Structure 1
Amino acid sequence: MWMVLGVTSVLLASTGCIGVQNGQIGKPPSSTAPATAPAQSVGNNSGGKVPESSAGAEASASIPYTREIIASKLNVPWDMDFAPDGRIFLTERGGLIRVIEKGVLKPEPVFRFEKPPLYNESEAGLLGIALDKNFSSNHYMYVYHTYQEGGQAYNRLLRMVESGGKAKVDKVLLDMLPGDRIHDGGRVKIGPDGLLYITNGDAAQSSIAQDAAQLGGKILRIRTDGTIPADNPFPGSPVYSLGHRNPQGLAWHPASGKLFSTEHGQSAHDEFNLIEPGANYGWPLLQGDEAQVPAKDASKKGPGPLKIPLLHSGDTTWAPSGITFVTKGPWKGNLLAANLRGMQLQRVVLGNDQVSVQRVEPLFKDDLGRIRNVAEGPDGSIYIMTNNRDGRGRPGAEDDQLIRLKPTF
C-alpha cells in the first residue's frame, strides 16, 4: 500500500500528429496509428522526405553551442537542477547528492544515502532531484530514491533541506511506491503551477499500470508539502496519468505550458507523449502503434480511452530519458531528449501548433555514448549527463561526465 506522508523524519543515514513512415509523410494517423520517426530520418509537414541527418562533423558544425566538460569521473549521474546562486545539484545513482560550484565539483557530497536502506541494483537507486522554486529562501529540494524493506523494493519521495553545503531529510512526501531493480521511473519536476510531478515506472509488474488504485506505471502530481491537489483527475489520489511503462522525462512547452513526457518501450516502441490529466497511455495494452490486445487481458484496462504517442521509435530502441525544452536562441521551442541505448541527443522540432512533430535530428550520435539527462540552465547553456558506467555502456577513463553546451548566439 502506497502512502502519502507528512512526517518530519525518516530513518536514513547522515492528439495525433502528422504520420511519418520511413522518412515519408503520411496521412494524419488514426487513433491506433501514431507517428513513427526512425532515429535518422523523419518527415516534415511539407509532404516531402527530409534527408537523413548525420551526427558527424556536418551536423556538429550546425550546433549553435560550443562543448566543454564541467565534471568527469562521476558515478552514474542521474539528475540535476540549478540553484539561484549558480550551483548545480546532481544525483549519483549509488547514493550521493553532489554540488558543482563555480565550475568545480565539490569533493564532499551534500548528502550520502547509506546502503541499506538504499537499493541500487540495476536501474534502481538515487534518481531524481528538483529544487524548490523558492530555494534561495527555504532551501528545499525534492529527492526520489529506491530502498528495500523486508526484502521488498520501494520508491519514496523526500523533501530535504540544504544549508551550508549539507542536507538533511525534512519530510517524507510519498512512501512505499512500487519499486524494483528495473522500471522505477524516478523523474521529479516542479511544474509551472508550482506543483510536484513525479514519474513512477511499473516496477516490472505491467498489470499495475492500468490500475488507477496503484501508483506504479503513473505520473503523479502533489503539492510540495505532500498533500494532494483538489483538481487532480482522481479525487484523493496523486495519480495524474496512467498506463505508463517506465516514464523518465518531463518537460513543459515554454509557450503553451503543455506537459511532454518520454517513456521506455519494451526493447523498442519508445514514446514521446503529450500528457493530459487523467489520460491513459495504454501500457501494457498499447505501446507505440502496437496494440497488445488480445495478447494481453483487455479486461484489465483502466479508465479512459488509450492514448497514442506523438512520436515513437518503431522497432528501433532509443531508451529516452531526461528531456528539456530550449527557451533561447535558434533552437527555441525545440525539445531535446537524452537517449541511452540510442547513444544520442535528439532535437525534436515541433510544428506551429506546438504539438505535432515536424522532424527529429540526432546529435552526438555514438560520440558521447549513453546519455541519461539533458537540461537547459538559467543562462541558456545545455547540460548533458552521460551514463556509460551504468552497467550497459562502455566507459572511458573520464566517464561519466557532465558536459556543457555553451551558446554561441
Structure 2
Amino acid sequence: MPDGDNVRVEVWIENLDIPWSLLFLPDGRALVSERKGRILLIKNGKVQSRPYAVLDVAHIGEGGLMGLAADPGFPSKPFIYAMHTYEENGKLYNRVIRLKDKGENGVFEKTIIDKLPGGTFHNGGRIAFGPDRLLYITAGETFKAELAQDLSSLGGKVLRVDREGGIPSDNPFKGSPIYSYGQRNPQGISWQPETGRLFESEHGPSGEYGHFANDEINIIVKGGNYGWPKVIGAPGLKQYIDPIIVWKHTTPPSGITFYKGDLLKNLRGDLFVATLKSQALLRIKLAKDSAKVTRIERWFTSDYSEGKYGRLRDVVQGPDGALYFLSNNRDGRGTPKPGDDKIYRIVPK
C-alpha cells in the first residue's frame, strides 16, 4: 500500500535542519528539535523567527539534540524536557535537561539525568512520559555492544526516572534508573492505549559480529533483558525477551506512535513507525487489545530503498487528529529534496 490507506499527505513545515522530535503542547503550540541544537516554536502552522531555545550540543555523527517531552502536568507545571549529546574533557555524553516554558521561549531550569554514555553512533535519544507520569529515556550503547548487558552502565537501556530525575522505588534494579536492558539503539517508545503496554523500536546490527538488519519492535517489560549482543532476532531463549517483529531487511525504525484519534478512524489502534534507510512509514495492525501482529503495511515506498519522502525520523499524532511525520534527508545519509527537511501532515483523502 505505497500511498497509504485512504489518506493524503500535505507539507506542513519545510526548510528544517535535521529535525528529530516533534512535540505538540496542549495550547496549540508545537516544538521541533533540530539535531544541531535548536528548538523551534511553531504557532498557527508557522515557524517563529526566533528559536524557542538554542542548546550547546555536540552535533557529532548521530549525536546532538534529540528527544523532547512535555511535563504531564503541563501547563500548570510548565516544563519541557530535552535529551542531547555534549562533550566534556574530550568525551561524549548524553543528558536530559528541563526548560521552563515562557511562551515564546524556554529557559534552562535543571539537569534531570546526566553522564549517560554518548558517542558518534547509537545515542538512543527518545524521551516520553508514560501513563504512570514517569519519564522514560532510550539510551543507546554507543557502538560498545558490551554496555547493553552491563547493569553498571546506563547505555543500551530503557531508563525510567521521575520528573525531577529521582529513581522510582519500584524500578527493577534498586537505586538504578534502568528499566530494561540488552538494547542496541532504541529510538522509539509508545504505549498501546487499550492495554498500557510499552512498545519500543530498536535498530539491529550493521555489521557487528557479521550480522546485519534484524531491526525490531519490542514490548518492554520491567527488568526485561532483550538480548543484545548475546542474541539477535528472536531465538526463543527463555532468559531473553524476543521482539514481536524482526525485519530481515535493513529497516532502522525510529519514532513510533499509536494512533488514537477520530480524524482518521480507519487507523485507530494501529502502530505507526518512522523508518530511516528503508524510507517508509510503517503501519502495524494488531489484534484488538493484544500484541499479536496481523498486518504490516509499508507506506510511501514499494521497496526497501527510495521512498517518496526519504528518510523518516519521527511520527506523532497532532491535536487535530492528523498524523505528522518528519523527514531527515539532511542528516548526511539522505538525498535532500527541495525544501527539506519537512514536517508532513496525513489527513483523510
TM-score (norm 2): 0.93
Q: Distance in 1 between matches of 2:288 and 2:315?
A: 24
Residue identity over aligned pairs, in percent, reads 42
Partner SS state of residue 138, structure 1:
coil
Residue 107 (structure 1) aligns with: 49
Q: Given the alignment of the two structures, is residue 183 of structure 1 paired with residue 122 of structure 2, yes or no?
A: yes
Q: Given the alignment of the two structures, is residue 77 of structure 1 paired with residue 19 of structure 2, yes or no?
A: yes
Q: Given the alignment of the two structures, is residue 397 of structure 1 paired with residue 338 of structure 2, yes or no?
A: yes
Partner SS state of residue 209, structure 1:
helix
Partner SS state of residue 136, structure 1:
coil
Q: Distance in 1 between matches of 2:332 and 2:235?
A: 29
Residue 113 (structure 2) aligns with: 174
Structure 1 outlier segments of 4+, above 6 Å? none
- CA contact 1:334–1:347 (8 Å) conserved in 2: yes
Equivalent position to 2:204, from 265, 269, 272: 265
Q: Deviations over 1:224-249 (max 9, x none)?
A: 01101111111111000000000000
Q: Given the alignment of the two structures, is residue 160 of structure 1 paired with residue 99 of structure 2, yes or no?
A: yes
Q: Distance in 1 between matches of 2:103 and 2:285?
A: 41
Residue 274 (structure 1) aligns with: 219
Residue 205 (structure 1) aligns with: 144
Q: Given the alignment of the two structures, is residue 232 of structure 1 paired with residue 171 of structure 2, yes or no?
A: yes
Q: Distance in 1 between matches of 2:235 and 2:41?
A: 43
- CA contact 1:155–1:177 (8 Å) conserved in 2: yes
Q: Given the alignment of the two structures, is residue 319 of structure 1 paired with residue 264 of structure 2, yes or no?
A: no
Q: Give, as a single letter, the amino acid of the residue that structure 2 aligns with 1:76.
A: I
- CA contact 2:235–2:242 (8 Å) conserved in 1: no
Q: Distance in 1 between matches of 2:147 and 2:36?
A: 27
Equivalent position to 1:98, from 22, 27, 40: 40
Q: Given the alignment of the two structures, is residue 348 of structure 1 paired with residue 284 of structure 2, yes or no?
A: yes
Residue 293 (structure 2) aligns with: 357
- CA contact 2:195–2:289 (8 Å) conserved in 1: no
Deviation at 1:108, TM superposition (A): 1.2
- CA contact 1:75–1:400 (8 Å) conserved in 2: yes
Partner SS state of residue 154, structure 2:
coil
Q: Distance in 1 between matches of 2:40 and 2:160?
A: 26
Matches within 5 A, 1:13-32: none
Q: Deviations over 1:73-113 (max 9, x none)?
A: 10000001111110111100000001110011112101112
Q: Distance in 1 between matches of 2:75 and 2:218?
A: 33
Residue 122 (structure 1) aligns with: 61
Q: Distance in 2 between matches of 1:360 and 1:87?
A: 32
Return the structure number with greater relative CO, CA threshold 8 A, min gap 6. Answer: 1
- CA contact 1:380–1:407 (8 Å) conserved in 2: no
Q: Give, as a single letter, the amino acid of the residue that structure 2 aligns with 1:397.
A: P
Q: Distance in 2 between matches of 1:230 and 1:212?
A: 17
Q: Deviations over 1:162-217 (max 9, x none)?
A: 10311111111111100001000000001011000000000111101001111000
Q: Distance in 1 between matches of 2:133 and 2:234?
A: 34
- CA contact 1:186–1:200 (8 Å) conserved in 2: yes
Q: Deviations over 1:31-81 (max 9, x none)?
A: xxxxxxxxxxxxxxxxxxxxxxx41xxx44x33x33221111100000011
Q: Give, as a single letter, the amino acid of the residue that structure 1 aligns with 2:266.
A: P
Q: Distance in 2 between matches of 1:104 and 1:406?
A: 18
Deviation at 1:378, TM superposition (A): 2.2
Q: Given the alignment of the two structures, is residue 375 of structure 1 paired with residue 316 of structure 2, yes or no?
A: yes
TM-score (norm 1): 0.80
Residue 87 (structure 1) aligns with: 29
Partner SS state of residue 286, structure 1:
coil
Q: Distance in 1 between matches of 2:245 and 2:77?
A: 39
Q: Distance in 2 between matches of 1:326 and 1:195?
A: 21
Q: Deviations over 1:98-138 (max 9, x none)?
A: 11100111121011123xxx211110000000011222222
Cα RMSD over matched residues?
1.4
Structure 1: tracts of 5 or more residues without a match: 1-53, 294-303
Q: Distance in 2 between matches of 1:260 and 1:327?
A: 15
Q: Distance in 2 between matches of 1:127 and 1:360?
A: 27
Q: Give, as a single letter, the amino acid of the residue that structure 2 aligns with 1:154.
A: Y
Residue 209 (structure 2) aligns with: none
